[in-house]
Amino acid sequence: MGMAGYGGMSGMTISSEMGGYSNGMGGMGFPGGMDQIESNAPELPTSIGQMGPDDMSSVDLTTLNANVERLAAQFNANTDDVFKAALKDQLLKTIADSFELRQSMQSSEAKLLAKKLALIEEQIKLRERNRETIIQQRLKKMIGETP
């Protein structure tokens, strides 16, 4: 699982089956186009914390980060305080979702690495127990004697 630019984790894809992303404002039509934000936002679950383990693999960290950038740009380009407050809330939630996903990805990677390490350590112990046999088999192979 390798994610470009992110500690070797793999790219994941966003699922359109996950339900619509809501800004929690009910499309109240704030100046600057709150409805526009909703229509441009990809479909995301209400919260990363509400997602099951299978759903985590369907969220794309790149998409979350793109949403953070898009929301920040809209926040910085807008002058309406009420609209900026709504954008700030969305930005905070999206950043938190991104953080949770990164934590989950790193935790999964750590578990996989721990399993791999345990397997390698077991192989080392097995080879050490069979050291003489392995050496003798290699010697016989190298000098043309069949083991």
Q: Is residue 19 included in any domain, yes or no?
A: no
SS3 70: helix
- Segments forming the whole domain that contains residue 42: 2-11+29-142
More confident residue, 27 or 56: 56
Provide the pLDDT confidence category of residue 101 given band limits of 50, 70 and 90: very high
- In the chain, the number of structural domains is 1
| Rounded CA separation 44/138 (Å) | 57
Mean pLDDT, residues 82-89: 96
Q: Is 53 left (phi over 0), alpha (psi -120 to 50) or beta?
A: alpha
Residues 102-129, mean pLDDT to the nearest whole number = 97
Query: Higher confidence at residue 42 or residue 105?
Result: 105
Query: Is 93 within a domain?
Result: yes
Determine how many CB atoms are found less than 10 A away from the CB of residue 101: 20
- Segment 55-66 shows an average pLDDT of 75
Could you tell me if residue 131 is inside a domain?
yes
69 belongs to a structural domain: yes
Quick check: is 16 in a domain? no
Say which residue, 2 or 118, is predicted with more confidence: 118
| Residue 47 token pair | 């919260």
Per the domain annotation, does 18 fall within a domain? no
Whether 21 is in a domain gets the answer no
pLDDT tens sequence across 7-53: 333 333 333 333 333 333 333 333 444 444 344 444 444 444 455 54
Question: If you average pLDDT over residues 64-70, what whole number do you get?
Answer: 95
Asked if residue 128 belongs to a domain, the reply is yes
Model confidence pLDDT, tens digit, residues 135-144: 999 999 999 9
